């Protein structure tokens, strides 16, 4: 398969990465069975009345960011991934069921408290976002570049000025690439050619087909993309303070709902204590992104 991928047409490779790399191959990952999670009566008693009445915790997610969340299953429309398992576990601990509603990434945070109880879509915690929503930390990740295997464009992470970079619109990575672009122009170097896409899948596909030199994304997503590409893609760690950072992913809650925010944090900490949280990460091969404690509105990155 590896030799065959090298000789595929651009269109075929795009289909392989977009369909097989992110959905089909992802679907083969079983994830974690949350049916064994036991209800905490103390935590369940704190569930807001409107949520208790429906019995459903509703989360907003773009469901196109494997392995965090993506659409799979027999119908190709069933949300799966790390975030889905974590949402299921939180809901189960509270005596609820979890519903992940698919939405465009940039529309989720503004709709918290109306369309969604929580935002669970691998959101990077940033000081800017904390001004409008609350966050409960649940993972710590870095960044990685995704490039074609063998680096045919001689992509150098130490100097990306003038490069064609695919990026997910509205993401923290798009903002940081803007910072790098300013640095390039201030230094008299060619500016970046940014190619924005609605989803990270589209950004990776553009790299795989040769339409972009690289894309930058969270380490878990980047490593997963390279893994399921069967040798077509590889990863490179960023260089420079704008992109070579470690940050926290957070579960988002409406800014005016501190009760639900603290309930989500306490529930996640209960799952950390009873081992469910680590078991979920282990099931996805992502134990290295785990946190020892879920915090409310922590410092975003370091």
Over residues 52-76, the mean pLDDT reads: 93
Q: What is the pLDDT of residue 16?
A: 45
Regarding predicted confidence, which is higher, 27 or 201? 201
47 and 131 within one domain: yes
Residue 94 inside a domain? The answer is yes
Over residues 59-83, the mean pLDDT reads: 92
Mean pLDDT check: name the lowest of 53-62, 199-208, 225-234: 225-234
Regarding predicted confidence, which is higher, 247 or 169? 169
131 and 148 within one domain: no
Q: What is the pLDDT of residue 85?
A: 98
Q: What share of the chain is helix, strand, coil (3-state, %, to 5)?
A: 40, 25, 35
Q: Is the pLDDT reported for residue 289 higher than 90?
A: no
131 and 169 within one domain: no
Q: What is the pLDDT of residue 29?
A: 54
Instruction: CATH number of the domain at 113, please.
Output: 3.40.190.10
130 and 147 within one domain: no
207 and 168 within one domain: yes
Q: What is the pLDDT of residue 196?
A: 97
136 and 147 within one domain: no
Residue 274 inside a domain? The answer is yes
Regarding predicted confidence, which is higher, 230 or 259? 259
Residue 296 inside a domain? The answer is no
Q: What is the pLDDT of residue 286?
A: 80
Q: What is the pLDDT of residue 107?
A: 97
Residue 179 inside a domain? The answer is yes
Domain of residue 62 covers 31-140+248-289
Contacts with 246 (C-beta within 8 Å, 6 or more apart), sequence order: 140, 141, 142, 301, 302
Separation of alpha carbons 146 and 123, rounded Å: 19
Q: What is the pLDDT of residue 30?
A: 63
283 and 232 within one domain: no
Residue 4 inside a domain? The answer is no
183 and 256 within one domain: no
Over residues 59-75, the mean pLDDT reads: 91
168 and 131 within one domain: no
Residue 219 inside a domain? The answer is yes
How far does CA 44 lie from the centroid of its chain?
A: 28
Decide: 45 and 30 in contact? Cβ < 8 Å: no
Q: Domain count of the chain?
A: 2
Mean pLDDT check: name the lowest of 160-174, 216-230, 266-280: 216-230
Global pTM value: 0.72
Residue 241 inside a domain? The answer is no
Over residues 47-54, the mean pLDDT reads: 98
Separation of alpha carbons 226 and 241, rounded Å: 24
73 and 43 within one domain: yes
Query: Whole-number mean pLDDT of the chain?
Result: 89
161 and 72 within one domain: no
Over residues 203-230, the mean pLDDT reads: 91
Name the DSSP letter for residue 290. Answer: -
Residue 129 inside a domain? The answer is yes
The string over 9-32, giving b where at least 16 C-beta atoms fall within 10 Å of a residue's C-beta and e elsewhere, is eeeebbebbbebbbbebbbebebb
Instruction: Return the percentage of the chain with pLDDT > 90, whole number.
Output: 74
106 and 184 within one domain: no
pLDDT confidence bin for 17, thresholds 50/70/90:
low
Q: Give me the sign of the Cα torsion angle 175, 180, 183, 189.
A: negative
pLDDT (tens digit, 9 = 90+) per residue, 233-276?
Answer: 999 999 998 999 888 999 999 999 999 999 999 999 999 999 99
């Amino acid at each position: 398969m590896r030799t065959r991928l090298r000789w595929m047409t651009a269109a075929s490779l795009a289909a392989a990465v977009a369909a097989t790399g992110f959905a089909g191959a992802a679907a083969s990952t079983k994830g974690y069975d949350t049916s064994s999670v036991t209800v905490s009566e103390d935590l369940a008693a704190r569930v807001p009345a409107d949520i208790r009445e429906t019995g459903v915790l509703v989360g907003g997610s773009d469901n196109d960011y494997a392995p965090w969340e993506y659409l799979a299953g027999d119908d190709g429309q069933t949300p799966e991934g790390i975030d889905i398992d974590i949402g299921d576990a939180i809901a189960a601990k509270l005596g609820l069921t979890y519903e992940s509603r698919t939405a465009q990434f940039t529309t989720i945070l503004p709709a918290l408290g109306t369309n969604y109880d929580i935002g669970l879509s691998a959101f990077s915690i940033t000081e800017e976002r904390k001004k409008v929503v609350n966050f409960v930390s649940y993972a710590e990740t870095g960044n990685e570049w995704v490039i074609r295997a063998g680096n045919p464009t001689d992509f150098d992470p130490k100097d990306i000025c003038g490069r064609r970079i695919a990026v997910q619109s509205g993401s923290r990575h798009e903002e940081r690439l803007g910072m790098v672009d300013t640095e390039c122009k201030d230094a008299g170097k060619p500016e970046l050619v940014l190619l924005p896409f609605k989803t990270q899948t589209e950004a990776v596909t553009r790299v795989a087909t040769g339409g972009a030199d690289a894309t930058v994304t969270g380490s878990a997503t980047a490593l997963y993309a390279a893994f399921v590409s069967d040798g077509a893609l590889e990863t490179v760690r960023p260089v420079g303070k704008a992109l070579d950072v470690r940050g926290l992913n957070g579960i988002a809650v409406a800014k005016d709902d501190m009760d639900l925010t603290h309930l989500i944090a306490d529930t996640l900490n209960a799952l950390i204590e009873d081992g469910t949280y680590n078991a979920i990460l282990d099931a996805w091969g992502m134990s290295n992104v785990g946190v020892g404690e879920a915090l409310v509105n922590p410092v975003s990155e370091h």
